[in-house]
Amino acid sequence: MKNILLFTLLLCCVTLRSQTYSIYPIPQKTTMNGNSIEMTREVNLIKEPGINEMISNRIQEVLTNAGINFTISDVFTDDKTNILIGINGSKGTADNYTSDHSLSKDVFTVTSNKFDPYLLQINKNHNKGDILILGDNSGSAYYGLATLEQILEQADNNHLSTATFEDYAHTQYRGIVEGFYGHPYSVESRLSLLDYCKRYKMNMFVYGPKADPYHAGKWREDYPSTLTDQQRYMGLITQDDLRSLAAKAKACNVDFVWSIHPALEGGGINFSNLDPGIEDIIHKFDALYKLGIRHFGVSIDDMNGHPYNQSELADKTQTKLYEKFNKTGVTEDDKVGPLLFVPTQYALNYGTGTLSAFKNIHKDVVVAFTGYDCFSNIRGSACDRMADLIGRNPVMWWNNPVNDDYDEFLYMHGLTARWSIEDKSPVSSLQGLILNPMNQGQASKIALFGAADYSWNPSKFNESDNWEASLASIVKEPELQDALKTFINIVSAYTTHDTRTPEGEKFAPLYTAFQSSYSKGNVPDATELINEMKKANAACKLLESLKESENQEYNLFYEDIKSWLAKVESMTDIVVKSISFMKNDAGLSAWTDFAEVQAKAQKIHNDSAFLLSVFEGKGTSTYEVFKEVQPTPKYLDPFVDFLADKIKDYAPQLPDRSREMEIITNIYNLSGVSIETNDMTLLSGLNTVTLKPEEYVGIYFNAIKEVAVEFLPTTLTSTLSTEYSMNGKEWSTFIPDHSIAQEMAYFRIKNKSKSTHAIPINEISFRMPASESSIPINVTTNMGTYQTYNIKNVIDGNYATKFWSDKAQKAGEYIQLDFGSSAARYQITLHFAEGDTPTGEAQIQFSDDTQSWTTISTFTSSDISDKLYTCNANGRFARYVRLYLQSVGGGDWFQLAEFEVTGARITPVAEDNEGNPVALLDDRSLSSGYKGKGEGHIIYRFIENIAINEIQIFHNSMFTSASAKPTIMIYSNGKWIAKGELDAPCTSVPVSDLKNISQLKISWNKDNIPVLYEIMPIGEPYVEEVSPPTGILSETSSSNASIFIEGNYVRIESRILIERIIITDLSGQKIKDINVNQNSIEIPIHEKQVLIVNVYLNNNETVTAKVAR
């Protein structure tokens, strides 16, 4: 048994002191020689004359990267390690070395399925050891250097175990075909992939992204010399880009195959007369040849129909290529290689009628197919069948791990996670294996690593060992490898197909166990679940560090996975913090935890960080759409939705903020007066009220609104005063003009005379004009999108654009508007397109949290008139408004041109330093907040009908100690008073010592910008005192002005415009100095003393009074 285990181990690795060699692709035969050498830090390099420049450069690269110096020599030395590199049969130094030391050269015996052979031996034939690398006359020593590179990386303090590697590849062609639909790779990503091919013995990179218009569509045209940033974003490349890719591929010993698609779009090749089209193809190839490209392909996959003479296209193109470029006297480097051809019947299930003719085409043409279907397992019988049909062994264009059919998924679970290898033994009819990878090239390296291993040595391929090893090919550090493994293990390999490694299977029972045990009074312990989620979250955070790495390979890899990474990080954080919050039931004291979880949960399906740019279409008709990435749709997504629903039961509650209008009065036990809201707001029942001096009755709108007051008769205004206010404490005279809307939060009728008066009218009408439209900050839908008919079209104000779903309507689908904060909503208008209206019952629904919805109206297509449906919410408050499909009754798709909602012209109580309104700070919600930009401030106006004793400021900010925290100031009695800093998440500001508070100001620097959620004043209900005019001690004989004491106020009324008022004490110390420019004013006075009031009128008259407070 021990011998069996040892033999198995030696198949994959070589014992090296306490370490092992781990070589990928796994060599065909490794023999341990039972010794070791201590390699010198400078080696003696012996190269045979036939070793080409590419191999010479590669060995220098390998030695330099290993920190080994070298001198080039023709003879052996005993004081340095000797490295020999040569060609089998050359009779040179390295070739003769094999005879001198009786080394077997069986690896070079030509047989089927034997390509790129090399012999590598580490021995002690000289004092400091020898390393021999022998290849064939086609340059296969290059692959021995890839093995040496990995050996040197695993050296144990310069010690190498002696070993012999007799190695070759099972397939001739191994590599990548960039042949998918979607975003083409960046040039940087392609360069990285070519280096990857070099390291893992792959030798082909086929360029043919469907979105490149110069590959398909404009295939006759030359590539441009320059590009705009937008063209670069759309995947276009320049002639210089192609030149650099060709040069890099050559250095990496990779055939860079530029493939043309002359039949994918309009203007394609004419199969009824092929010769002109072939001339066009050769002309395009010639332009690319001048850029350094020496390998070409023709693809006619996915075109309409199956031309009977497509084999002629392959044959003539190959012949023309050789005739033009491989003339007598042309060097090997300047000759072109065999043509790679992809027929229309590239999958056996697509039919085989045109394939038999390929038996008669040029013998060098390489034919690719995708297997028994477009998406296939590797099946030996399918390869055999294709080989019989076309008269040559095919290359398999394996659509794996390509994700252009499910762009939102990321496949990193290994080569055989989605599609498997059915044959346990090597497939002899497989000429090559090229992977069509994901749109994410760097993330595809995991599968490419597996394909390199399998296509080189299929008999020793082990999918689980290979996957584990592949992670180290992407990130070198063990901690990063562990993090990557953790991340991959939680995400999905699941699409519409069950696979052998669907999403995080080991976690599913943990989610289920929590859900089944949960109740409001019983939050399960979930220790294992929380630990696993913390581990995954930490892994995501660690992988995010790749973004800032100095290693460009790491940067590219991060860019590929960042959207999935961000979503998994967010979801695992939601799980950990939700369960912790529910278990601790911390309430308002930990409101920031709740706000963070709630905010993340609300954005889990619409955060822009989780949206992926996807290219649809092909060639010149490529267009961009955005899709939500799906790392965990099967298990974790529903679990997060479950927690988001349950955590609201534990939500910290602020006192409810009524948005209903209220009656205000200082009359004890007022009755008979009411507020009615319909098209207008009515304050009615007024003719039942008699006002004594200083009594009032009015309305509090509970917001600052633009209000137009309908006609007020002179019978009212001749005996009583009408006033408006922003805060219920400072009042201004209202001059009736029903045609002009006035901003106000309060309106009242007050008796300022010394006599009692009945209100002579029954009602007052108020109009609060609706705005033309409330502008949502975002629109989302759970419907799919057809072509370019994006959901943003329903809020672009253009009735000519529209949203169009991509499949039949389903109950539960919706289109949702987010206005950022709760506010009054009025008319809702849906502008439908030509067709595809709701097939069943649809509803307009309101919500403030997306969890609890209230139905405003229900309608069907019969209620739609002239493509319009309207309803009115009559001022009901909501942050979110959605159109919801309650039921469906047909197979129609869905179209909508515009989704409009009007709201009252409400002025937010806060604004920033640029005068922009801030509408989220008085909504009594801890799930919506505001963050400024740079240095700035906000000013908040208090409109609440209370006497304020305390102000609570809720914020969720991270401040640096290197800079000052935001400061708080209160506007009281006409001046700003400092009240400390913003500190605790709920900063309490006591203000019982201040009177007449009207505003709060929070100022910050650029380093400590707060995230503000709510500003909440606390106090007792405010009722203005009833106090008859008193305290008039002296007054001038003028009849133009009167001065009164009313409670805490001095009130001045004048027939002549008041310019200025100065109030002093008896010693002459100035207390107030106010520029007025109006006919009446109330001035708050809190000091109890005798005062001198001087009133300066516009007619140069002065009125003076001594008053007692």
User: Same domain, yes or no, for 939 and 1052?
Assistant: no
User: Same domain, yes or no, for 950 and 1038?
Assistant: no
8-state DSSP, 496:
S
User: Same domain, yes or no, for 888 and 935?
Assistant: no
Of the two residues 926 and 546, the one the predictor is more confident about is 546
Range of the domain at 62: 2-169
pLDDT in tens, 697-721: 999 998 888 888 887 887 787 889 9
Task: Tell whether 481 is covered by a domain.
Answer: no
**Over 70: is that where the pLDDT of 448 sits?**
yes
User: Same domain, yes or no, for 450 and 593?
Assistant: no
Task: Tell whether 636 is covered by a domain.
Answer: yes
List the CATH number of the domain containing 53: 3.30.379.10
Task: Tell whether 844 is covered by a domain.
Answer: yes
- Taking each helix axis from N to C end, the angle separating 274-289 and 310-325, rounded to the nearest 10 degrees, works out to 40
Strand partners, 1054: 1041
The reported pLDDT for the residue numbered 1028 is: 41
Domain final residue, candidates 426, 444, 462: 462
User: Same domain, yes or no, for 669 and 632?
Assistant: no
User: Same domain, yes or no, for 228 and 370?
Assistant: yes
Residue 626: how many other CB atoms lie within 10 Å: 14
pLDDT in tens, 730-754: 899 998 766 677 889 999 999 999 8
pLDDT in tens, 231-276: 999 999 999 999 999 999 999 999 999 999 999 887 899 999 999 9
pLDDT in tens, 838-853: 999 999 999 988 888 9
**Over 70: is that where the pLDDT of 360 sits?**
yes
**Range with top average pLDDT, 878-882, 966-970, 1053-1057:** 966-970
* Residue 226, token pair as written in the block: 């320059």
CA distance 536 to 541: 9
In this structure, are residues 262 and 219 in contact, taking their beta carbons and an 8 Å threshold?
A: yes
User: Same domain, yes or no, for 278 and 157?
Assistant: no
Q: Residue 401 contacts by C-beta under 8 Å, 6 or more apart in sequence? A: 411, 412, 415, 417, 418, 435, 437, 438, 444, 446, 447
The reported pLDDT for the residue numbered 494 is: 57
The reported pLDDT for the residue numbered 12 is: 40
User: Same domain, yes or no, for 916 and 900?
Assistant: no
Q: Which has the minimum average pLDDT: 99-103, 247-251, 401-405, 1029-1033?
A: 1029-1033
- In order of 39, 125, 162, the CA distances from 42 in angstroms are 8, 18, 19
Task: Tell whether 490 is covered by a domain.
Answer: no
The reported pLDDT for the residue numbered 191 is: 98
Residue 187 sits at φ, ψ, to 5 deg, of -60, -40
Confidence band (pLDDT; 50, 70, 90) for 677?
confident
Q: Which has the minimum average pLDDT: 47-51, 208-212, 945-949?
A: 945-949
Confidence band (pLDDT; 50, 70, 90) for 1026?
low
pLDDT in tens, 955-970: 988 888 899 999 999 9
**Over 70: is that where the pLDDT of 682 sits?**
yes
CA distance 886 to 705: 35
List the CATH number of the domain containing 623: 1.20.58
Residue 740: how many other CB atoms lie within 10 Å: 10
In this structure, are residues 185 and 51 in contact, taking their beta carbons and an 8 Å threshold?
A: no
Task: Tell whether 967 is covered by a domain.
Answer: yes
Q: Residue 605 contacts by C-beta under 8 Å, 6 or more apart in sequence? A: 628, 780, 782
**Number of structural domains found in the chain:** 7
User: Residue 540 region, left (φ>0) first, then alpha (ψ -120 to 50), else beta?
Assistant: alpha
List the CATH number of the domain containing 1017: 2.60.120.260
The reported pLDDT for the residue numbered 849 is: 81
In this structure, are residues 845 and 807 in contact, taking their beta carbons and an 8 Å threshold?
A: no
Q: What is the mean pLDDT of residues 797-822?
A: 90
List the CATH number of the domain containing 1088: 2.60.40.3080
pLDDT in tens, 574-614: 999 999 988 886 667 777 788 788 778 878 887 889 999 99
Helix (H, G, I), strand (E, B) or coil at 864: coil
Task: Tell whether 728 is covered by a domain.
Answer: yes
Task: Tell whether 196 is covered by a domain.
Answer: yes
User: Same domain, yes or no, for 803 and 933?
Assistant: no
User: Same domain, yes or no, for 408 and 552?
Assistant: no
The reported pLDDT for the residue numbered 230 is: 93
Whole-number average pLDDT of the chain: 90
pLDDT in tens, 1060-1097: 898 887 666 777 888 888 888 888 876 667 788 888 88
User: Same domain, yes or no, for 895 and 916?
Assistant: no
User: Same domain, yes or no, for 885 and 917?
Assistant: no
Domain final residue, candidates 650, 672, 693: 650
Task: Tell whether 72 is covered by a domain.
Answer: yes
The reported pLDDT for the residue numbered 895 is: 94
**What percent of the residues of the chain are helix, what percent strand, and what percent coil, each to the nearest 5?**
25, 30, 40
CA distance 15 to 27: 15
Q: What is the mean pLDDT of residues 328-348?
A: 96
Give the whole-number percent of the chain exceeding pLDDT 70.
93
Domain final residue, candidates 747, 767, 787: 767
